[in-house]
Amino acid sequence: MGDPRGDRNMDLSLREADPEVAAAIAREAVRQRDHIELIASENYAFAAVREAQGSILTNKYAEGYPGKRYYAGCEFVDVVEDLARSRALQLFGGSEHVNVQPHSGASANIAVFSAAMEPGDSFVAMSLSQGGHLSHGAPVNLSGRWFAPTFYGVRPDDGLIDWEGVERAVATAKPKILIAGASAYPRTLDFARFAAIAHDAGAKLLVDMAHISGIVAAGLHPSPFPHADYVTSTTHKTLRGPRSGIAFARADLGAALDKSVFPGMQGGPLMHVIAAKAVAFGLALDPSFRTYMERTLANAKSLAAALAAHGFGVVTGGTDTHLILCDVTPLGVTGKEATLALEAVGVTINKNSIPGETRSPMVTSGVRYGTPAATTRGMGEAEMVQIAAWSAEAIARRDDPAALRRIAAEVSALARTFPVPGRDATSLAEHGA
């Protein structure tokens, strides 16, 4: 009997349908298994998160919100979005309203901007070069082109938030929004102090907790929710969910936020990704997630101390979070050179500007390390000490190909003893090798 669809391609596996894409994914699986991932914003998602994200929910249009959709047949995706919303509110106790539809962290920020500002309005944020984010007013980003940002930064001497700078920026700009939150700040953020400055000036406080949301969820970083009017986050960094975003608002600002996301800036929500967010929030509510975050923070402290012992200039002298910012000038290299040396041995980090930076963003004087991904694989203090030693050695012997090859072999031998999450990922790497 023939196939009534007349299209046998519809049932092909990825490997059958597209060997080129399949091969690239398999090679990436090998890379993810054999390298040590220390980019602070990266992690390995829960296997169940990836399963939901790859599910048949991608087939469904569901413009609108649960119970108020523009399409028929939404009864099951409504269950999924309601689960995502209620779990997000439970995970971040104290939050009042949540929208789980933003496609990414940057989209969540734009949704808040368009809910709270008109084009040309001013806001205040940490500058990109001092640890802020592209979507907080960088001139090349929509946030900087359509709105009028004024920036604060960190003090060049100790790398901590320049509170006088925050107060000055708010006093002169009279902003609609003050943003607290960063991509490269290793210390606890004082949300009460940010809120006092914002609210005294009649501005709203947006906390972008993209990097630290897992730490907040675990109760190991003070919560922004008692203080902020809006909170945004990614869901794929410390939270270990799918690559996506989420936005929260005070109850009275919730309806405007929802309108801003849909129909303001997005069409159909990605229901498969929202399902994956529901799964991630559910798993983050399990007590094991707090243990994971505790180990992530302990590893960051160990790694910071070990790097300092090898001569790295650890900015602020340490870390309260999952990330470490280092000045590599004392080692005689730029951030770019250090990153390339570590890449050659399979230790993945990124170059980063440091307080008082004198080099361009493409070169930099610093590097950023983060422990969420390595901790997900089960690495602990002994591995952190080893990673710091390899880092120093790879930088010192960056012009010695034989030494780099030997270190790379040691790195991948160690990495392979720590499993990547998901039996599918393990077998993909085994077949891709």
Ligand X SMILES: *Cc1c(COP(=O)(O)O)cnc(C)c1O
- Kindly list the residues in this chain that would bind ligand X in the complex (CB under 6 A): 41, 104-106, 133, 135, 181-183, 208, 210-211, 234, 245
Residue whose CB is less far from ligand X, 105 or 346: 105
> Which CB, 53 or 104, lies closer to ligand X?
104
Nearer to ligand X, 125 or 341 (CB): 125
What pairs with residue 122 in β-bridges?
148
Tokens (6 digits) for 221: 């970083």
Q: Are 282 and 235 in contact (CB under 8 A)?
A: no
* Closest alpha carbon to 420 in 130, 40, 74, 33: 33
Rounded to a whole number of angstroms, the minimum distance from the CB of residue 40 to ligand X is: 9
Among 81, 322, 117, smallest CA distance to 229 is for: 117
Q: At what angle do helices 381-396 and 335-344 cross, to 10 degrees?
A: 110
Residues with a catalytic annotation lie at 61, 63, 208, 234, 237, 243
Report the nearest approach of ligand X to the CB of residue 110 (Å).
9
Q: Which is nearer to ligand X, 210 or 407 (CB)?
A: 210
Contact between 122 and 149 under an 8 Å Cβ cutoff? The reply is yes
Q: Measured between alpha carbons, how far is 313 from 316 in angstroms, rounded to an integer?
A: 9
Q: At 184, list the tokens.
A: 């490269």
175 vs 370, which CB is nearer to ligand X?
Answer: 370
- For helices 381-396 and 401-415, angle between their N-to-C axes, nearest 10 degrees: 160
Q: What is the DSSP secondary structure assignment for residue 353, as one 8-state letter?
A: -
Cβ of 372: how many Cβ atoms within 10 Å?
A: 30
Q: How far is the CB of 347 from ligand X (least distance, A)?
A: 21
